[in-house]
Chain A
Amino acid sequence: GESVGLHLPTLSVQEGDNSIINCAYSNSASDYFIWYKQESGKGPQFIIDIRSNMDKRQGQRVTVLLNKTVKHLSLQIAATQPGDSAVYFCAENGGGGSNYKLTFGKGTLLTVNP
């Protein structure tokens, strides 16, 4: 079946550095991707999304890059702060206006060292 996976299960960075979290997907029909942040004991929090007709989208301190050629998605966090420490999930929507399901990757644990 189609799946979404992550290259790195854990990432440790120094405060102030930039972080890059990667995600690979296998469904070429996926047309919508979302990054979620989940802090310990909380539900996933929406960070940023991107449609398949785009290859880059920027938010506040975050940028999502989409490479459809190699089916790769990444989340870049600028000037990483201790409050960014969390598990980050990518999720993909399988395509088609009526496809409701989001398929989640297993997550990457980001640890920010002060």
Chain B
Amino acid sequence: GAGVSQSPSNKVTEKGKDVELRCDPISGHTALYWYRQSLGQGLEFLIYFQGNSAPDKSGLPSDRFSAERTGGSVSTLTIQRTQQEDSAVYLCASSLVLSGQAGGKTQYFGPGTRLLVL
């Protein structure tokens, strides 16, 4: 597609429920990233994918968070047993490549999923 898309755009859930957030990167982009942004704050890095593999999961806040990527394209971020502190905007970005020339590493962001845990 023309840009990174994310779904749903908004999600309201009850504490303790599981949620799945989806990201469709720009076609042809091999690298994909997930960030979290709390109200009025900067971006907190969560995880990145090179192809279907996620070499570094240290940014995930807890073991309730997991992510996968299939076919080198779509990625899903899953939050199990959601807590109120999980409420935030979850942003996905993709880049042409993970490493190499600086321009190829430029990350392009989707519109985000606004998660509210009641």
**A98 contacts chain B at the CB level, 8 A cutoff:** yes
Q: Which partner residue on chain A sits nearest B92 by CB separation?
A: A43
Known: A43-B112, A100-B31, A100-B99. A32 touches B105 (CB 8 A): yes
Min CB gap B71→A, angstroms: 21
Give A34-52 as 1s and 0s: 1 = Cβ < 8 Å from B's Cβ atoms.
1010000011111001010
Beta-carbon contact of B42 and A44 below 8 Å: no
Beta-carbon contact of A49 and B45 below 8 Å: no
Q: Give the interface centre of A93, A96, A98, A100 by most chain B CB atoms within 10 Å.
A: A100
Beta-carbon contact of B102 and A89 below 8 Å: no
**A61 contacts chain B at the CB level, 8 A cutoff:** no
- Number of interchain pairs (Cβ within 8 Å): 56
Beta-carbon contact of B109 and A107 below 8 Å: no
Beta-carbon contact of B43 and A89 below 8 Å: yes
Min CB gap A22→B, angstroms: 16
Min CB gap A5→B, angstroms: 10
**A84 contacts chain B at the CB level, 8 A cutoff:** no
Report A83-111 residues with CB < 8 Å from chain B CB: 89, 93, 96-107
Beta-carbon contact of A46 and B106 below 8 Å: yes
- Residue from A44, A99, A105 within 8 A of B91 (CB atoms): A44
Known: A44-B109, A46-B106. A98 touches B43 (CB 8 A): no
How many angstroms between the C-alpha atoms of A101 and B56 in the bound complex?
11
**B51 contacts chain A at the CB level, 8 A cutoff:** no
Beta-carbon contact of B110 and A93 below 8 Å: no
**A15 contacts chain B at the CB level, 8 A cutoff:** no
Contacts A/B (CB < 8 Å), 16 sampled: A31-B102, A43-B6, A43-B93, A44-B109, A45-B109, A46-B107, A46-B108, A46-B109, A49-B102, A93-B102, A100-B48, A100-B98, A100-B99, A100-B105, A102-B107, A104-B43
